[in-house]
Amino acid sequence: MRGFQPVRHERELRSILNAIERLPADAELDGSALDPILRKYPRDGKGFFSRSELIAGFEHLREREGLGHDAEALARRLRLRPVRTRSGVTPLTVLTQPYPCPGRCVFCPNDVRMPKSYLADEPGAQRAAANRFDPYLQAWNRLDAYRAIGHPTDKVELIVLGGTWSFYPEPYQVWFATRLFEALNDFGAGLDRRAEAWRSAPDFAQLPAPLDGRRLVQSYNQVVSGFLDRHGAGVASGDADWCALARVQRANETAGSRSVGLVLETRPDHVDEAEVLRLRRLGCTKVQVGIQSLSDEVLRANRRGHDVAATRQALGLLRRAGFKIHAHWMPNLLAATPAADGEDFGRLFDDPAFRPDELKIYPCSLVESAELMTHFESGHWRPYTHDELLDVLVAALAAVPRYCRLTRVIRDISSDDIVVGNKLTNFREVAERALAERGGACVDIRSREIGARSFTDADLELGVMEYETDTGRELFLELATREDRLAGFARLSLPAAPSFVEELGASALLREVHVYGPSLAIGASAGADAQHRGLGARLVRETARRAGGAGYRNLAVISAVGTRPYYRRLGFRDGELYQHLAVGEG
């Protein structure tokens, strides 16, 4: 590993490796197991060793001291962090650069060094800042880090966070997406062009510390706009080219590191038909939407800048275009109460206009740079007590249906940044235990994933859940064991009317196919794991059969750039933005 000298840290490394060996053989080396050990034996007395450094240290000690087979098994445990890639793909999160925001939300941090709503202490934000928010650097370096700890890097879900994507200038969007695909293509081919990226990346660390939410002499937008005016946004007009993007997308179809999903984040009031088509041209397959609340009163109190009607319209447009919808919901906002939040969450799945495919729950946290500080100090807002928040989250966990994946319950904000309120980062686990003690259970997708469990095809049963939305009928098809462990699923939309997307017309829409289990390299042997056993093809055939049986003549799939060859093998033909399969009669 470049730059790391194990010989300087032999004492600490030996102590760490000995402590890991004393753990149970079947113990998973996640943060809860490993972090206490790393904290006890810090690098240079102040920082954690990374996994790649531990692996390099082990190999150094093995060569120096002749460690045996037990140490080799230990190295294998260190090389894998299965939880990250147990969902079947390797997630790669990058952040856009700081940029003015169309919202004026009182709960939002004003850390001008970060894109709006993010804090410099968040892990993903730290990685982004270290790479000056350059998309190529962030993606290439993250892939390199994954490879160093043993993760496959050939199937990658690109997750772009930071601010409101749809408010960034189109040239920046096109440039950013192009550079992401270039990073995947280069990394997969063993090419390293990071030095070129460093020369063009502005240094946002020159911006001042976070603003004081109680005394905003200048707004976030004013400070960031001034910096960009002085230093430029890092994107020359000639760098943003839709044709260039299309070229790198085509190259990515067969690259060593392929995009099997591109996730972008935006606001409901910035989603219209033109924006939906632009998202699709960029290669986007899933959209994270900050709905925050389904109460107009709460949205107004928090100066969110849009109403519930905008959320209805946005989710309808995205669903009609086949996108997967990942909603954000926030309890404990200004003007909310625990009882009102319970009713609000109920609307999220009771009302056919919403019913997202995935969900993040972010209880409002008070940080010093947010304008919410003034409402706290005046007594107009207070954080929920532990028991109040627990009751809200327990009720929410119990209400999430089988077709939705609850990806996060508490935002990863440092306790040092939270002025008052909940500082437990494991509140999800606390709420799940409380739900179980009250006789309930979580049935969302994340709670039922097969994980590393072994199974045979004979163990799987096909289940279908149907539900209505404002745009038509949804079928959630799942392959699960008798113990209700989920090995794979598909989302099929049967629209009630033709789409505004001309290419789709009256097609049925295959919005997602996902097979769980540890991420395997393309062409690797599956063994007893779920991936590469034909489960995805089985689900696609079943969706095609059901679409044809429902009277549709065409099944369109919102395929990711890197999954296009897979769908071609299953008989789909390429369209401009989607791939298509003839089904039914005619």
**Domains in the chain, number:** 4
CB 543 within 8 A of CB 489: no
| Sheet bearing 324-329, strands edge to edge | 90-95, 155-161, 258-266, 286-292, 324-329, 358-361, 405-408
Task: State whether 235 and 140 are in the same domain.
Answer: yes
Q: How are beta strands 486-495 and 155-161 bridged, if at all?
A: unpaired
pLDDT in tens, 376-394: 999 999 999 999 999 999 9
Task: State whether 342 and 288 are in the same domain.
Answer: yes
Q: How are beta strands 258-266 and 155-161 bridged, if at all?
A: parallel
Task: State whether 242 and 276 are in the same domain.
Answer: no
Q: Which residue has the tokens 């097979």?
A: 515
H/E element holding 461?
Answer: strand 460-469
Among 101-105, 106-110, 150-154, 577-581, which stretch is predicted with the lowest mean pLDDT? Answer: 150-154
- 85, part of any domain: no
- 151, part of any domain: yes
Give the three-class secondary structure for 454.
coil
Task: State whether 345 and 483 are in the same domain.
Answer: no
Task: State whether 310 and 320 are in the same domain.
Answer: yes
Task: State whether 71 and 100 are in the same domain.
Answer: no
Q: Is the pLDDT of residue 294 over 90?
A: yes
Among 272-286, 511-525, 558-572, which stretch is predicted with the lowest mean pLDDT? Answer: 511-525
Domain boundary among 37, 53, 79: 79
- 386, part of any domain: yes
What's the mean pLDDT when you consider all of the chain?
A: 89
Residue 404 has what DSSP assignment? -
Alpha carbon 179 to its chain's center: 19
Phi, psi angles (nearest 5°) of residue 252: -70, -20
CB 413 within 8 A of CB 121: yes
Specify the pLDDT at position 309.
Answer: 98
Return the structure tokens found at 559. 């395929």
Task: State whether 419 and 392 are in the same domain.
Answer: yes
pLDDT in tens, 166-200: 999 999 999 999 999 999 999 999 999 999 887 77
Q: Which residue has the tokens 């009720």?
A: 395
Residue 50 has what DSSP assignment? P
CB 409 within 8 A of CB 428: yes
CB 180 within 8 A of CB 284: no
Task: State whether 327 and 216 are in the same domain.
Answer: no
Cβ atoms within 10 Å of 313's Cβ, excluding its own: 17
Specify the pLDDT at position 528.
Answer: 47
Q: Is the pLDDT of residue 232 over 90?
A: no
At residue 456, what is the residue type?
Answer: T
H/E element holding 555?
Answer: strand 554-557
Looking at the DSSP assignment, which residues form a beta bridge with residue 582? 554
- 39, part of any domain: yes
CB 392 within 8 A of CB 384: yes
Tell me the CATH number at 377: 3.30.750.200
Q: Is the pLDDT of residue 525 over 70?
A: no
Which H, E and C letters describe 224-283, residue by residue? HHHHHHHHCCCCCHHHCCHHHHHHHHHHHCCCCCEEEEEEEEECHHHCCHHHHHHHHHCC
Phi, psi angles (nearest 5°) of residue 215: -140, 75
Confidence of residue 526 (pLDDT cuts 50, 70, 90): very low
Cβ atoms within 10 Å of 172's Cβ, excluding its own: 18
Domain boundary among 424, 448, 472: 448
Q: What separation in angstroms does the CA of 28 have from each of 79, 82, 520?
A: 12, 8, 19
Residue 100 has what DSSP assignment? -
- 84, part of any domain: no
Of the candidates 326, 329, 251, the one whose C-alpha atom is nearest the C-alpha of residue 285 is: 326
Give residue 60's domain range. 6-79
- 86, part of any domain: no
Specify the pLDDT at position 307.
Answer: 98
Task: State whether 56 and 123 are in the same domain.
Answer: no
Specify the pLDDT at position 196.
Answer: 86
Task: State whether 406 and 492 are in the same domain.
Answer: no
H/E element holding 182?
Answer: helix 170-189
Task: Please work out, in degrees rounded to the nearest 5, the angle formed at the alpha carbon of residue 356 by the alpha carbons of 126 and 264.
Answer: 35
Specify the pLDDT at position 237.
Answer: 46
Task: State whether 71 and 99 are in the same domain.
Answer: no
Domain boundary among 212, 231, 261: 261
Phi, psi angles (nearest 5°) of residue 465: -115, 125
The rounded distance, in Å, linking the Cα atoms of 375 and 381 is 5
The rounded distance, in Å, linking the Cα atoms of 542 and 379 is 56
Of the candidates 150, 85, 88, the one whose C-alpha atom is nearest the C-alpha of residue 531 is: 88
Q: Is the pTM of this model over 0.75?
A: yes
CB 422 within 8 A of CB 411: no
Task: State whether 107 and 254 are in the same domain.
Answer: yes
Sorted by sequence, the CB contacts under 8 Å of residue 465 that are 6+ apart come out as 401, 402, 403, 475, 476, 478
Per-position b or e across 507-522, b if 16+ CB within 10 A of its CB = bbbbbbbbbbbbbbee
CB 364 within 8 A of CB 331: yes
